[in-house]
Amino acid sequence: MIVAEKKSINEIIETIKDYNKILLLGCNECVTVCEAGGKKEVGVLASALRMYFLNQEKKIHIDEITLERQCDHEYLEEIRDRIDQYDAVLSLACGVGVQFMADKYLSTPVVPGVNTCFLGATEKRGLWTERCQACGQCILASTGGICPVSRCAKRLLNGPCGGSTKGKCEISKELDCAWQLIIDRLKALNRLDDYEKLADIKDWSSDRAGGPRKVVREDVQE
């Protein structure tokens, strides 16, 4: 899932303070799971903002809606008949939702209320860790299911660097060395021969760093 974290209330106030009528828009998907932008967070943020502006004696009206998804035309259409009532939308969706919204409703400013961080997993409540950088050419089959692209600080594809010490990454002692994890896992799977093989040269043109990508599926019809 996409993992995001809440922006500070001061940053949010700075981005919305010049508007009078604001739609605070949550999303029921990833940002709900990572407790950054779901219905609950919309309610808490709306109350905090109302309180702040009341104390400032500034009249700001905030409405709250949480859509099923903000990255889908179908759900964004649900606010079409009321979007013109607002001076701005404060979106708690990930950056995809914010942009989709901005594409769709050209005359309404949309500002983000969260920082989109990475593709990750929920380790436990309150802890999410990065697991994938959407490189577009998955190599997990040869690395024991552990991703060196997202979990090795140097994105090394053929074993650890010289800085790996006692299973920890040289970038931070708090981080496991991804390659140590890969070797341990391959050992456990009795697949250490995968480690001996030189990885194919990776085609980084399919990585998201090469510019925006599209996935077109002809087997999926409109």
Q: Which residues bind ligand SF4 (CB under 6 A)?
A: 132-135, 138-140, 147, 149-150, 152-154, 156, 160-161, 163-164, 169-171, 177-179
Q: Which is nearer to ligand SF4, 83 or 139 (CB)?
A: 139
Beta bridge pairs of residue 26: 66
What lies within 8 Å, CB to CB, of 61 at 6+ separation is: 20, 21, 22
CB 199 to ligand SF4: min, Å: 11
Q: What is the dihedral of CA 28, 33, 36, 41, to 10 degrees?
A: 60
Tell me which DSSP letter residue 176 carries: B
Q: Which is nearer to ligand SF4, 65 or 153 (CB)?
A: 153
CB 115 to ligand SF4: min, Å: 20
Q: Which is nearer to ligand SF4, 45 or 182 (CB)?
A: 182
Q: Which is nearer to ligand SF4, 70 or 180 (CB)?
A: 180
CB 183 to ligand SF4: min, Å: 10
CB 127 to ligand SF4: min, Å: 19
Q: Which residues of 41-80 are buried (b: 16+ CB within 10 A; e: fewer)?
A: bbeebbeebeebbeeeeeebebebebbebbbeeebbeebe
CB 1 to ligand SF4: min, Å: 13
Among 104, 78, 193, CA closest to 144: 193
Q: Which is nearer to ligand SF4, 36 or 169 (CB)?
A: 169
Among 26, 32, 18, CA closest to 65: 26
CB atoms inside a 10 Å sphere around CB 169: 22
